[in-house]
A and B are shown apart, each in its own frame.
Chain A
Amino acid sequence: MALVELRDLTKRYQTEAEIISVLEDVDLNIEAGEYLSLMGPSGSGKSTLLNLMAGLDQPDSGTITIDGSEITSLGPNRLADWRANHIGFVFQFYNLLPVLTAFQNVELPLLLTNLSKDERRERVEVALNVVNLSDRMEHYPRQLSGGQEQRVGIARAIVSDPVMILADEPTGDLDAASAEEILTLLERLHSEFNKTVLMVTHDQHAAERAHRKMYLEKGVLHQ
């Protein structure tokens, strides 16, 4: 059984004028340890697909089975627990809490575990070390560059050792050099730490670096 199995996944939005069909019977298998990229025009439903896989949104029909759990049938609390244990999400705009330091931001997901304060500290330090920000632990997001903020975001996504990393345009708001750093980092998560990584991107060059490319257009997923 694949790590991720999407079956007949359909998502529509009802607006005043019309029903927008964002995803139309999407099927997808992802094996553990794969590194995939997802491209597609703006508004094609890439974020929607990622959100569905992260259990942040509900499909209109179809099933999402990840690591053995069919998540569309979970209630909001079970889903929250599942998310905390399985998914590391990387956002385009980093989404760090501005009032917390880099350390505290990365520690957040661990507050949902039973780890002691010392164990948490150790894990956070490891994660920040992976993203090469050990010297910025006590900095607040506003004291960091965009690239550094995104690295904190990645540290937060990996700190609880999730099954899968979902990254929604992680370089979309960064200059070329910072973007390169982030792409290298995601690649390392895959190659060094054996993480399953799915990255949405607009950037052809970035997409090329993944081992499997997918393309979403008009609600249809091309693999």
Chain B
Amino acid sequence: MKIPILYNLRSLRARPTATLTTALGMALVVAVFIGMMALSLGFQAALVETGSTENILVLRRGADSELSSGINRDVANAIAALPFVAKDASGKPLISPETFVVVGLERRSGGMANVVIRGVSPEAFDVRTGIRITEGRTFRPGSGEIIVGETLVTRVPNTEIGESLRFAGRDWEVVGHFEAGGSSFESEVWGENELFMPVFRGQVFQTVALRMEDPSAFEGVAETLEADPRLAVDAHLEREFYANQGTLLGDILRFLAVFIAGVMAIGAVFGAVNTMYSAVDSRAPEIGVLLALGFKPRSVMASFVVESMLIALLGGLIGCLIALPINGLVTSTTNWNSFSEVAFAFRVTPTLLVAGIVFALVMGVIGGFLPARRAARRPVVEALREVGS
């Protein structure tokens, strides 16, 4: 930078209205971009965090979702007896054969939400180590008690502790709330698998979740499971299974973020082009002097591109400030794999903020390019002649 950046900063300050309006146009684009990306990130994070890298999720061979899977009790027992299943202190295998149904429950805000009702074994809390009871206690086996994920509590009535939630033709007593690190489990209702099994889909589990003794041995374990003709199952690494459920929607959201922000960016770039053209035109004599003093055309060009980028930087920062408050805001969408509602929080990460600023800077460069080129190509004599006229 031969021409001091101070020159650009002060020139921008000398015309605050143009600078601010242009920056605000960019800020809006950046805020929308960050907002939509935060949505996509939050959604995917919720699903990624649902699964563990130490767990295997077993589904019926060919089943592509928990909903469409079915595993008989003898198959579940056979899996529990396999050697690679981790054991707890008392020697019990860490395995949770689970029932999985989706029921319609009324929302607090009106309308219906599809909610996952998951029946788990008492060992489930050792298999899924991220589950933590935040209020009340866990359900007692054989009692008809349930626990409710925290985000679901805020969305569905009759989920407070002591209240009864009605589904599958009977009332279930809520005895606890749990959190699961922001994962989609927090949008579920959990109860005992043996109680849910008869009232829902008969004598069959949907999936088996198990903890591996040696997580690094996943490939071999999966092969062994899938090769066993008695079982007829597919084995998934739990994390990958849930993460994959979010891929399609996550991709669509990201595409939309880029597309919508991209369309808006065109407008903002035109704003920058306009502002920079008028800056270049009104400062022709200054450009003339810089060139006359021996600054190269490319230095003049760089100077005006930098000036445009400074506006963009301001816009980017404002955009980040606008977008920041949505961080942690909870919203929900449908998991297209289970057709159930997943609640998740917008995630405005530092990386995303940096991406927003970079987005703004790119707009700045594009918007500044043509005006800067006009500045650099201006014949010196012509630029100087505009003095005093």
Contacts and interface: CB of A to CB of B under 8 A. Distances in A.
B7 A95 contact: no
A45 to B, nearest CB: 12
A57 to B, nearest CB: 5
Contacts of A82: 294
B2 interface: yes
A109 B11 contact: no
Interface string B350-371: 0000000000000000000000
B296 to A, nearest CB: 5
B295 A112 contact: yes
Contacts of B297: 76-77, 80
A134 interface: no
A109 B7 contact: no
A215 to B, nearest CB: 22
A208 interface: no
A108 B293 contact: yes
Contacts of A209: none
Contacts of A92: 387-388
B381 interface: yes
A90 to B, nearest CB: 11
Contacts, number: 78
Chain B interface residue count: which class?
Answer: 20 to 34
Nearest to B297: A76
Interface stretch (A62-70, A96-104, A123-131, A185-193): A96-104
B293 A112 contact: yes
A56 B292 CA distance: 7
A91 B291 CA distance: 13
A80 B296 contact: yes
A112 to B, nearest CB: 5
A97 B294 contact: no
Given A56-B384, A109-B294, A111-B2, A99 B289 contact: no
Given A57-B381, A111-B4, A80 B295 contact: yes
Chain A interface residue count: which class?
Answer: 20 to 34
A77 B296 contact: yes
B292 A54 contact: yes
A194 interface: no
A91 B4 contact: no
A100 B11 CA distance: 9
Nearest to B382: A57
Interface string A113-152: 0000000000000000000000000000000000000000
Interface in A23-60: 51, 54, 56-57
Count chain A CB atoms within 10 A of each CB in B7, B14, B289 and give the residue with the most.
B289
A56 B380 contact: yes
Contact of B14 (A51, A91, A99, A156): A99
A98 B283 CA distance: 10
Nearest to B2: A111
Contact of B387 (A51, A91, A108, A111): A91
B294 A81 contact: yes
Contact of B7 (A54, A99, A112): A99
Contacts of A112: 2, 293-295
Interface in B1-40: 2-4, 6-7, 10-11, 13-14
Contacts of A54: 292
Contacts of B3: 111
A91 B384 CA distance: 9
B387 A80 contact: no
B286 interface: yes
Given A51-B381, A91-B387, A97 B293 contact: no
Given A77-B296, A99-B11, A56 B289 contact: no
Contacts of A109: 293-294
B2 A97 contact: no
B42 interface: no
A84 B294 contact: yes
Nearest to B296: A80
Nearest to A51: B381
A77 B290 CA distance: 13
A85 B297 CA distance: 16
A114 to B, nearest CB: 12
Contacts of A213: none
A56 B293 CA distance: 10
A208 B27 CA distance: 61
Contacts of B291: 56, 80
Contact of A104 (B2, B6, B292, B295): B6
Interface string A166-182: 00000001000000000
Nearest to A52: B381
Nearest to A88: B293
A7 interface: no
A83 B7 contact: no
When A and B form their complex, which 4 residue pairs have the shortest distance between CB atoms, in order from nearest?
A84-B294, A99-B10, A93-B387, A83-B294
Interface of B: 2-4, 6-7, 10-11, 13-14, 285-286, 288-298, 379-381, 384, 387-388
7 contacts: A51-B380, A56-B381, A76-B296, A77-B297, A85-B294, A100-B6, A112-B293
Given A80-B294, A85-B294, 5 more contacts: A77-B296, A83-B294, A84-B294, A95-B285, A112-B294
